[in-house]
Amino acid sequence: MIVAANFKMHKTRKETIKYLKELKRMDFKDVEVRVFPPFSALIEDELIGAQNAYPAINGAYTGEIGLEQLNEFNIKTLLIGHSERRHILGETQEFIAEKFNFYKQNGFRIFYCVGEPLEVRKKGIEAVVDYIKKQFEGIDLNYENLVIAYEPVWAIGTGVSASSEEIKETHREIKKLTKAPIIYGGSVKLNNIKEILEIENVDGVLVGSASLDVDVFRQMIEIAKEKK
Ligand code: PGA
Q: What is the pLDDT along the chain (228 residues), one digit of tens a residue?
A: 999 999 999 999 999 999 999 999 999 999 999 999 999 999 999 999 999 999 999 999 999 999 999 999 999 999 999 999 999 999 999 999 999 999 999 999 999 999 999 999 999 999 999 999 999 999 999 999 999 999 999 999 998 889 999 999 999 999 999 999 999 999 999 999 999 999 999 999 999 999 999 999 999 999 999 986
| Catalytic annotation, pick one of 82, 84, 91, 169 | 82
pLDDT value, residue 228:
67
CB atoms within 10 A of CB 131: 17
Cα of 183 vs centre of ligand 1, distance in Å, is: 12
Instruction: Name the pTM for this structure.
Output: 0.97
Using a 6 Å CB cutoff, which residues line ligand 1? 6, 151, 156-157, 185-188, 206-210
Class of domain 2-225: alpha beta
Query: What is the model's pLDDT at position 140?
Result: 98
The answer for residues whose C-beta is within 8 angstroms of residue 16's C-beta and 6 or more apart is 7, 35, 37, 41, 43
CA of 6, closest atom in ligand 1: 9
78 phi and psi angles, rounded to 5 deg: -145, 140
How does DSSP classify residue 161? P
Q: Ligand 1 atom closest to Cα of 189?
A: 3
Is 82 catalytic? The answer is yes
Question: If you write DSSP's letter for every residue of 109-150 in order, what string do you get?
Answer: EEEEEE---HHHHTT-HHHHHHHHHHHTTT--TT-TTEEEEE
pLDDT at position 227: 87
Minimal-distance CA residue to ligand 1 atom 7: 208
What DSSP letter does each residue of 65-116 carry, written as one string?
--HHHHHHTT--EEEE--HHHHHTS---HHHHHHHHHHHHHTT-EEEEEE--
Domain ranges of the chain: 2-225
For residues 37 and 203, give the distance between their C-alpha atoms in angstroms, rounded to a whole number: 22
CA–CA distance, 180 with 45 (Å, rounded to integer)? 24
